[in-house]
Amino acid sequence: MVYAVIFALLLGLDQVVKHVVKTSMELYESIPVIQNIFHITYVQNTGAAFSILQGKQLFLIGLSILVFIILLVVLIKNKKHSVILNLSLTMILAGGIGNLIDRLFYGYVIDLFDFRVFPVFNVADSAISVGVVLLAVYLIFLEGRKEADGSSKNYSA
């Protein structure tokens, strides 16, 4: 239940922020929040992370749906996983669905956070990135420790 709430909050925040930008800004318009450091810049990304796979919408939609199904099955079948693992998968799911919604409705993903030294990104991208880092921490440090000491601890809540 907690993970469903986190999922809904992340997905909702992502969609609300994107809607506000899409309806109140012109494409490529940039609003400085901290001049030359952080801007809100409206761009449309037809690719994946860092604008790779530009124009491959059908592939990206199919991949998103496949990943969504796999992660959802893992979450449902293994409810007693680690809090970190469940949180990471929830964040990846929320971000992936947020960007999938954009691809299905617009044919592109709305990006807006512009740090000027990094590709422009959105809330969904942030959720995916944090989720992947948490997943790596779990796999490297927690799952690895569980295997190394032969314990059956699942580090769950």
CA distance 62 to 57: 8
Residue 85 Cα distances to 12, 42, 52, angstroms: 22, 33, 27
User: Number of folded domains in the chain?
Assistant: 1
CA atoms within 13 A on the CB side of 88: 17
Contact 7, 77 (CB under 8 A): no
Secondary structure string (H, E, C) spanning 47-76: CCHHHCCCCCHHHHHHHHHHHHHHHHHHHH
- Predicted confidence at residue 22, as pLDDT, reads 98
48 domain residue, yes or no: yes
Catalytic, 111? Answer yes
72 domain residue, yes or no: yes
8 domain residue, yes or no: yes
93 domain residue, yes or no: yes
156 domain residue, yes or no: no
157 domain residue, yes or no: no
The one catalytic residue among 14, 102, 111, 114: 111
- Predicted confidence at residue 145, as pLDDT, reads 67
- Predicted confidence at residue 157, as pLDDT, reads 47
The one catalytic residue among 14, 102, 114, 125: 125
142 domain residue, yes or no: yes
- pTM for the structure as a whole: 0.84
Catalytic, 14? Answer no
CA distance 98 to 11: 6
Q: Dig out the tokens for 19 from the structure.
A: 């809607």
155 domain residue, yes or no: no
- Predicted confidence at residue 150, as pLDDT, reads 59
Averages of pLDDT over runs of 10 residues in the chain (157 residues) are: 93 98 98 97 84 74 88 81 90 95 94 95 96 94 67 51
Q: What 3-state DSSP class applies to 121?
A: strand
Q: Fill in the DSSP letter of residue 153.
A: -
Can you give the residue range of the structural domain that contains 33? 2-148
